[in-house]
Structure 1
Amino acid sequence: MSAPPPAIKVLVCEDQALVRAGFVTILSAQPDMEVVGEAADGRAAIRSAQELKPDVVVMDIRMPLLDGIEATRHLAGPDSPNPARILVVTTFNIDEYVYEALRAGASGFMLKDAPAPELINAVRVIAQGESLLAPAVTRTLIGRFAERVRPSTAPAQTESERLKVLTSREQEVFLLISEGLSNAEIANELVISHETVKTYVSRILTKLDLRDRVQAVVLAYRAGLAGGRDRA
């Protein structure tokens, strides 16, 4: 009988004590998670992350001493030798600071008032190496600020022309990525295996010269494709 996988180590960074305690209580109650530390400001978040090496950092944006954006950039930005996987949480569903945190290297974001199962799922998704954009806020957030992102390595052609390199199936997966769905949700939507979805996502990012799913969502909005279908 094989041993169970090690628990997901989580660091909770939030300046409001009651909110922080709530996150800790929810996550500690999961059999596959262990809250290894807490931080009430950005500087403490950096110190704790470097010392404890958590699998996932739950990061608030607005904190004293150093905000969550700068803490995220320090822990997950391009100059970080060992980028942390960071889940940004925010009170607002339209927040430029969240967008900047994603650009700083965060793996995803969600709202503080999201149901507990969504927080739990988000931590698991990010721990598995995937990016997560909450579907409820993806459209408003990325749609508002997408025009600011201009990938420096992108060829000089329109977004729609770039997407022509994708097969019809890859375009289906690309659209679902733009709606904020995780790999597991895409697999369920298209009735294909999780591994097949991972292959498609990797192929799409490579073909489009994109760093991650966040840039894929931005490209979809700039191409006028995201948010084009109604979801229950």
Structure 2
Amino acid sequence: MSTIRVVLADDQTLVRAGFRSILEDEEDIEIVGEAADGAEAVRLARELRPDIVLMDIRMPDRDGLEATREIAGDGRLEGVRVVILTTFDVDDYVYGALRAGASGFLVKDTEPTELLHGIRVVARGDALIAPAVTRRLIAEFAGRVRRPEPGPQLNALTEREREVMRLVGTGLSNDEIAQRLVLSPATAKTHVSRVMTKLGVRDRAQLVVLAYESGMITPGWLG
């Protein structure tokens, strides 16, 4: 198993120390750098090319949202994934962070096992959007944007691909999509990859955002 290389970005030294104490005992995870602000996080991402940047939202100099947008927009950092660290009192930033290019988010007081699971999920190319609380948040903030207008790029999708995109938008994994559509997991994965390629999105998280913004899924659709 390859080692997951992680950069910690948080302006609070004690917070970084807490995450480090959890992560450094894992054989498949290596902390390769720490940043106290967004500008430093971007610099380390470019210098070290980590697999994951755990990024706090509110930091001096350059906040986590702008740093995420800069990392996601740098073609040289295509393999670098950003996971936003947040607290429930700053949820207004979550949707914006996903739009900026984050691959998901974790609440700072999450259980260690969930932190480790989240890092591994994102490292293997999935988006950290499966938990029901995350889906509700995305639905809530998607509802605040202007009235969705289907983009012309959706016309390139087959009906099956549209169906797959809707299921991705609800937070289902490839295995869950396969089960729902009575497909093999490999076929479901192929469909998801084709949708992402056709729409030119960075990863699953951006596919979810596009599903909401295009009106393919409407807030409240999950009930």
Q: TM-score range by the shorter chain?
A: 0.7 to 0.9
Alignment gaps of 5+ in structure 1: none
Distance 1:178 1:9, change over 3 A: same
CA distance in 2, matches of 1:31, 1:192: 34
Q: 1:69 aligns with which of 42, 65, 68?
A: 65
Tell me what 2:82 maps to: 86
Kept in 2, the 8 Å contact 1:131–1:214? The answer is: yes
123-132 vs 59-68, which moves further: 123-132
Q: 1:200 aligns with which of 160, 171, 191?
A: 191
Q: 2:56 aligns with which of 43, 60, 64?
A: 60
Q: 1:98 aligns with which of 94, 97, 103?
A: 94
Kept in 2, the 8 Å contact 1:94–1:137? The answer is: no
Deviation at 1:63, TM superposition (A): 0.8
CA distance in 2, matches of 1:149, 1:115: 35
What is the number of equivalent residue pairs in this alignment? 218
- Would you say 1:114 and 2:110 are equivalent positions? yes
Distance 1:177 1:81, change over 3 A: same
- Would you say 1:178 and 2:202 are equivalent positions? no
SS at match of 2:188: helix
CA distance in 1, matches of 2:170, 2:25: 30
CA distance in 1, matches of 2:75, 2:30: 24
Alignment gaps of 5+ in structure 2: none
Kept in 2, the 8 Å contact 1:12–1:37? The answer is: yes
SS at match of 2:61: coil
CA distance in 2, matches of 1:188, 1:21: 41
* Identity fraction in percent: 48
CA distance in 2, matches of 1:43, 1:154: 33
CA distance in 2, matches of 1:165, 1:146: 26
Superposed counterparts of 1:23-42, under 5 Å: 23-42=19-38
Tell me what 1:154 maps to: 151
1:182-231 CA distance string (max 9 Å, x none) = 43555577786543331121233356x3624334323544344565457x
Q: CA RMSD in A?
A: 3.3
Deviation at 1:6, TM superposition (A): 2.5
TM-score normalised by structure 2 residue count: 0.79
SS at match of 2:76: coil
Aligned AA for 2:191?
Y
Deviation at 1:15, TM superposition (A): 1.5
Deviation at 1:106, TM superposition (A): 1.5
Tell me what 1:10 maps to: 6
Kept in 1, the 8 Å contact 2:102–2:205? The answer is: no
